[in-house]
Structure 1
Amino acid sequence: MKTLKSIFRFYIHGSIHVALASVSLVQITLMKYGISSAYMFLFFSFFGSVTAYNFVKYSNASKLYHKRLTKSMKGIRVLTILSSLLFTYLAFKFSIEILLYMIPLIALTVLYIVPVFPNKKNLRNVAGVKIFIIGLIWAGTTVMIPVVFAKGSFNLDFWIEMVQRFLFIIVMMLPFEIRDLQYDEATLETVPQKIGITRTKVFGSILLVVFLLLTATKGGLLPSVEILSTILVTTISLLFLWGTEKKQSEYYCSFWVESVPIMWLGIVILLQNLFG
């Protein structure tokens, strides 16, 4: 049992789980463009996510994730180094266009933790922008980059998808903001710090309603799979958002909330099999 717990903790704290969540969103985007098996690109996205998240979490700029992790830090470092090497290797397998579109996203990730702004601030410590930067990075990596890979066009449906993914990620971040109330400095001006926990949940609910309604603005006759999966993931997200408390179990956010994108992919696959 102790070994299983250690493996699970490594799975969570090594960012393997959140990387799978990211890859799930990438796969959902690819499936909307008719690409069902792009394993090399999914591995590329996975290793990039592990590298980026561990870079952010375990840099000197972050103070929240070092507690109780000293024994596993060596393994996490090895995982991060291997992931970064594999990510770099796979990057050369794709077109220069994909890499060019990734440059701004990588730059945002670096600026998120590297103090280059006045008063030695990074983007994470700029008041009120943290979750919006994360939302922008995730929308870019899970919608824009896959669309470039699929050789899709940046039409109206693409921009609607970008906005939807941005809103979805913002809502997924709110439980983390509520959890981190006890850690975050007041100068961060996070959403719960500014408006309180209950209003944060109301704010997230409004964003989810907009996320859902935007589906109806897409052109053409939408597949029933997309409509039903969007309704279901909106419902699941609402339940997790309203189930969030300031004091919560250790893995409520880092496992269950981060599982929502994986659930979303599972729902899409299940519905596709049901509706052919």
Structure 2
Amino acid sequence: MKYFYKLLDFYIESSLHVAFAVYALIRITFLKLNLAYDEPVAYFGFYGTIVGYNFIKYDELVRVRRVALSKRFKAIIGLSFICFWITLYYFWQLETITKLLGIGALFLTVLYTIPFIPNKSNMRNWSGIKIFLVAVAWVAVTVWLPVINAHYPIDILVVLKSLQRFILVFVLMLIFEIVDLQFDDLYLKTIPQQLGEKKTKFLAYILLVVFILLDLLKPEFTLKVFLINLVFSIILGLFTYYASKKRNKYYTSFWVESLPVFWLVLLLIS
């Protein structure tokens, strides 16, 4: 079991798990908009997530704090280096307009990590902004990237799916923030810090109701997809209900981040 947990920790800490979540959401966009599978978009999202997330998580440790590099840390850096070149390979296969969106996502990642204004903190430490920033970034990568690269028209369906995806990521982040209450500094002013745990959960439940209701507004409404989304929302609601600062790291970093993959599986087997 010791070696299993070491392998699991590497899998999570290297951002492979969150990359599969992003990949799953991109695949869901293909399915829901009836788009042909686009390998460059899917793999750009997957490998780019590994590079971006690892840069966000570990840049300050290496660049500022000069933390000693353990074997696991070196392996993560090595993996990130390989994924960077794979990301670049798929980047050049994207449409020109999609490349611009990818560059925008890169700029957001750098801005999130490195302060551009001297003696000011980076965007990650701006009070209350983190959750919105992450949600917008995930919508851009998992909805707009596939849509724009396929030259799909920006219609009401895309707008509704963008809103649903924003709500989904926002609720996922609320669960993270509830569990991280024991670790987050007060100056971050996260939503659970400002509203409290119970009110934050209530907010998540309201958002999940909106998530489901948006399905009813779609031009191509189907009962089967609606029921799948309903089941998924109930499961997400249960994870919200049982979230607390007493939960261990695997509750969010593994189980909660597995939910987009579970959603994809539900859609595929249907």
Same fold (TM over 0.5): yes
Equivalent AA in structure 1 for residue 51 of structure 2? T
Q: Which residue of 2 aligns with 1:218?
A: 218
Q: After TM superposition, give the deviation of residue 39 of structure 1 in Å.
A: 3.2
- Does 2:232 align with 1:233? yes
1:212 & 1:242 partners in 2: Cα distance?
18
Deviations 1:137-191 (A, max 9, x none): 0011000001112221111211111111011100001121112222222111100
- CA distance 1:149–1:268, change in 2 (3 Å): same
CA contact (8 A) 1:50 1:80 kept: yes
CA contact (8 A) 1:113 1:123 kept: yes
In structure 2, stretches of 5+ residues that fail to align are none
Query: How much identity, in percent, do the aligned residues show?
Result: 37
CA contact (8 A) 1:30 1:150 kept: no
Greater displacement, 190-199 / 147-156: 147-156
2:136 & 2:38 partners in 1: Cα distance?
24
**1:80-119 superposed matches below 5 A:** 80-117=80-117, 119=119
1:161 & 1:144 partners in 2: Cα distance?
10
- Does 2:207 align with 1:197? no
Equivalent AA in structure 2 for residue 38 of structure 1? D
- CA distance 1:165–1:97, change in 2 (3 Å): same
2:126 & 2:267 partners in 1: Cα distance?
37
Secondary structure at 1:27 match in 2: helix
Equivalent AA in structure 2 for residue 234 of structure 1? S
Q: Which residue of 1 aligns with 2:251?
A: 252
In structure 1, stretches of 5+ residues that fail to align are 272-276
Q: After TM superposition, give the deviation of residue 96 of structure 1 in Å.
A: 1.0
Q: Which residue of 2 aligns with 1:58?
A: 58
Q: After TM superposition, give the deviation of residue 36 of structure 1 in Å.
A: 5.2
Q: Which residue of 2 aligns with 1:46?
A: 46
Number of equivalenced pairs = 267
Deviations 1:196-235 (A, max 9, x none): 111111111111111111111122x313342122111111
Secondary structure at 1:204 match in 2: helix
**RMSD of aligned C-alpha atoms?**
2.1
Greater displacement, 173-182 / 32-41: 32-41
2:243 & 2:10 partners in 1: Cα distance?
24
Q: Give the TM-score normalised by the residue count of structure 1.
A: 0.91
CA contact (8 A) 1:23 1:45 kept: yes
